[in-house]
Amino acid sequence: MPIHTFKAGLRGSAAAMSMALLMIAAPGFAQTADTSADGAVDEIIVTAQKREQSLSKVSLSVSAVAPEQLADTNTVGLESLQNIVPSISFGNDFNFAKLFIRGIGLSSSLPGVDPSVALHVDGAVVSLPQAQLGSMFDLERVEVLRGPQGTLYGRNATGGTVNLITAKPTDHLDGYVRQTIGGDAVLMQTDAAIGGPLADGVSARIAVQRIHRKGYGINEYTGNEIDNASQWSLRGHLQFKPSERFTALFTGELHTEDDQSLAIKFRELSFPGTTTASLTSLGQRTNLDGSKAAFASNVRNLNTNFDPINDRRQWSLTGALTYDASDAVMLKSTSSYRRFRAYFFHDFDMSSYLGYRLAQTSATQTSANHWQPVWQNQFSQDFQANFETGKLHAVTGLFYLNEHINVENHIGYDVLTNSDPWRVKFDGSMDIETWAAYANLTYDLSDQFSLKAGGRYSWEGRRYRSDTGIGAAATGFVQDPLQWDARKTWDNFSPSLGFEFRPNDAVMAYFNWSRGFKSGTAEIGSRRTSAAQVTPFVDPEKVEAFEGGVKYDGGGIQANLAVFYHRLKNAQFQRTFPIAAPPFFASRLENAAQSRAYGAELEWRWKVSPAFSLDGSVAYLDSKFTKFFSKDPLNAALFGPGGAALPDQDLSGNYTRMSPRWSVNLNPEYRVELAGGSMVKFGANFAYRAKQYHTEFNDDRLAQDGYVMLDANVKWTDSTDRYSVNLWMKNITNELIWSGSYAVATSRTVGGTLMPPRTYGVTLGIEF
C-alpha cells in the first residue's frame, strides 16, 4: 500500500522542531483515560448497549475517546475521529457530513437521503447529515460502535453509530477555561464550562466554545479568504434530583457558523483532451463578455466569481427523565426537539467563468453557481425500561420520530439575487414519521456463559413533494408540468442473536449475528419527467452482519480483537443513465448495488510503565461490490450522440467508497514528574490510511492515495492539576488529503474537499 513520503523541511519554528523531536522520542497518544498508579489500565464505563458497562465487558466493537485526548489534540470536529478510531472514514461535500464505518456510509449529495452511520447526542438522534457537524464540545466521551446497530439504534445505523456523551452537572463546583492561540491562520479558540449545585437537589452546567480562524486559502478572483471559521457553540444543563430514585435533566444547545467554508476545490478537468468547436483548450474557455479566465493556481484556493457561503444555525431542547423504580428496574424517557437551518452557496464550476459552453454537448451557454438552503425540524421520543436481575439484563423501549425537511436547490448565473432565470430548480420537501419497539436481552446461563437476543420492529412513512424545472437563456425558466406529491410506507424487523463466554475474569469471547436497515426514501430534487413514473422512492437497504471477538483485560493491558463479515443488499446509489438531449445523461437514486465486506480490528491500551503508555489499533477491511451496473459520468463517450447505446459497466469487484484496506493508529504517551510536583506529558498520534476511492467506479481522479497523518503535543500541568500549558501540532508534515471528491457534470470538472493543512498552537488552561 502506498504511503506518502514524509515531507522534509518543517517550518523553521521552535514549535515545529519540538514536535518533530517528540515524534522520535515518543510516537503517539490515544483514546485513553488516565492510567492508575498501580500499573493497571483504568476502567472506562460506556453506555453503548444503553446501560452502563465496562468497555472491556461490552460484547461489541466499541471505541471510547476520552475528553482529555480531545482537548490535548484540539479535536473539535467529527472528521478527526478517523485518525484515532479504526475502520471509520469521514468525507464531506455540499454541506453534508459523510461518515463511513466498515465501508458503509452515505453516498448521495442531495437532502432527503439518510446517513448510514447514526449520530446521537446524549441518546437523542441527529437525523439530518448536514446537522451532524456540530456538538463536539464539552464532552464526557465519544463512543463509536462499529457494525450494524439495528436492534438498539434502529434505522440508519447499518454502518454503526457515534454517540456524543456531554459533560453533566456534578454535586460540586467544577469547570475550566481554555484559551487557544496559534497557527498560520491565526486561530483564536475559547472553551469554557462551569457547573455545580445551585440548591438542594438542583445543579447546573453551562459550556461555551468560540472558534475564530482566518482562512486556509483565498478566492483569487475576489481576494477574500476562504475555508475560515466563525463558530459559536453553547450548551446548558439544568438537573433536578428531588430523591435518590428520580432525576430530571433538561438541556438546551445552540451551534452557529457564518463563514466561507465547505466549498469544493478544483482537482482537474474531466475531459482534458476534448476538442470541440467551442472548446479546444482550457485557455480558450471564454466568458459571455469575451474575457478569459481559469481555475485557481493553488489547490487550497478558489478562483470563482462569488465567494462561498456557509451560514448555519441549529438548536435543540432535550429532556431526560430517569426513575429507578426498584433496584432491578430503571425507567427513562428522552424527549428532544431540534431545529436546523443552513444557507449554502458555492460556485459549482470552481472557476471564474460566469458562463461557458459545455464540452461535447452543444453551443448552449451554461453556468454552475449553486444555492442550496435547507430547513429542518425534528421531534424524537424514546421510552426505555432497563431490567437488571441476577441473571437477566434487558433493555426494552419505544421510539418515535417526526421530521420535516424543506430544500431549495438552484443552479444558474445569479441564484443569489435571482436577477437571471434559474437554469435548474430542484426544490422540494419531505415529511417523515417513524416509530419502533425494541428489546435487547442478555441471560446468564452461568458465571461463564450468556446468551443474547434482540429485535426491533420499525414502521416508517414518508411524503415527498417537488417543485422542479429547467431553463435556458432563450426560454427562461420552465416549470416541470408534472410534479411529485407522493407517499410511501415501509416496515422492518431487525433481529440479533449472540453469546458471551468468559473462561476467566480477564478474557471474554463473543459472537453476534444481526440485521439492520436504512430507511427507504427519495432524493429531494428528483424530477418527474413523465406520467409513467409512478414513484420517486427507493426501498430500504438492508445489511446482515456476523462478528466474533475476544476481549482481554489483564491489568496493565487491555486488548480487543474483532473479526467481521457483512452483506449489504438494495444499497441506495445514484445510477447514471443516458438521455437523448445534452448533456446526454442523467442520474437517479436507485436500489442499485449489493456489496460485502470482511475484516479484522485489533485495539489495545497498554500501560508499559507508570510513566509510559502505548495505545493503538490495526484494522484490515476488504469491502467490495458484488452487484452494480451503471454508466460512468466520466466516460467521455457517454456525452455525445450514440452515448445512449453504450452498455452499463459491471462494477462488481470494485472497492466501495471510503474503504481503506489498512488503517493503523499508534498513540503513546510519556509523563515526566518535575520538581515541586508538576508534570510534563509528551504525546503524539500516528495514523495511516490506505488508498480510498470516493466513487464506485474506482477512478484515481476521485480518490485519496494512502497517507500518514502525524499529530503531537507537549503539555505541562502544575502540581495542583489546575493550571496547564499545552503545545500542539496537527498534520505535522502538511499532507494534502482529499476527504471527498465529486464529478461536476455541468462544468466537466472534478472537485473535492480537503482536510486541514498543518495547524499548531498553544492552549492555556485553568481547571477548577
Name which of 253, 374, 232, 403 is nearest 316 in CA terms: 253
Across the range 643-669, mean pLDDT stands at 91
pLDDT over 70 at 34, yes or no = no
Q: What is the pLDDT, as a whole number, of residue 582? A: 57
Measured distance CA(379)–CA(520) in Å, rounded: 19
Bridging pattern class, strands 160-166 and 117-121: parallel
Across the range 280-295, mean pLDDT stands at 52
Q: What is the pLDDT, as a whole number, of residue 275? A: 38
Across the range 409-415, mean pLDDT stands at 82
pLDDT over 80 at 641, yes or no = no
Question: Band of the pLDDT at 419, cuts 50, 70, 90?
Answer: low
Cell of 478: 420552465
Q: What is the pLDDT, as a whole number, of residue 19? A: 35
pLDDT over 70 at 475, yes or no = no
Residue tagged 464532552 (cell numbers): 139
Q: Report the chain's C-alpha Rg in angstroms.
A: 26
Across the range 215-239, mean pLDDT stands at 96
Specify the higher pLDDT residue, 138 or 745. 138
Count CB atoms within 10 A of the CB of residue 595: 28
Residue 14 CB partners (closer than 8 Å, separation 6+): none
Provide the sign of the torsion angle of the four alpha carbons 349, 354, 360, 362, taken in this order. Answer: positive
Name which of 157, 164, 146, 150 is nearest 63 in CA terms: 146
Report whether 621 contacts 730 (CB < 8 A). Answer: no
> Which of 117-126, 138-147, 643-652, 714-723 is the least confident region?
643-652
Cell of 383: 421510552
Across the range 20-46, mean pLDDT stands at 49
**What are φ and ψ of residue 48, in 5° steps?**
-60, -35
User: In CATH, what number does 14-166+237-252+313-342+377-450+463-767 get?
Assistant: 2.40.170.20
Question: Band of the pLDDT at 710, cuts 50, 70, 90?
Answer: very high
**What are φ and ψ of residue 69, in 5° steps?**
-65, -40
* Percent of the chain predicted with pLDDT > 70: 86
pLDDT over 50 at 714, yes or no = yes
Give 157's strand partners: none
pLDDT over 90 at 169, yes or no = yes
Q: Is the omega angle on the peptide bond into residue 169 within 30 degrees of 0, that is, cis?
A: no
Question: Band of the pLDDT at 742, cuts 50, 70, 90?
Answer: confident
Domain boundaries, the chain: 14-166+237-252+313-342+377-450+463-767
The three-point CA angle 476-482-483 to 5° equals 95
What are the residue ranges of helices labelled H in 127-234? 150-153
H or E segment to which residue 69 belongs: helix 67-72
For the chain, the average pLDDT equals 86
* Percent of the chain predicted with pLDDT > 90: 63
pLDDT over 90 at 26, yes or no = no
Q: Summarize pLDDT for 289-330 with one digit per residue, the tens.
A: 555 557 899 999 999 888 999 999 999 999 999 999 999 999
Q: What is the pLDDT, as a whole number, of residue 98? A: 85
Specify the higher pLDDT residue, 348 or 427. 427
**What are φ and ψ of residue 309, in 5° steps?**
-125, 125
Across the range 262-268, mean pLDDT stands at 89
Q: Summarize pLDDT for 489-510 with one digit per residue, the tens.
A: 999 999 999 999 999 999 999 9
- Cα–Cα separations (whole angstroms), residue 456 to 148, 548, 586: 13, 22, 37
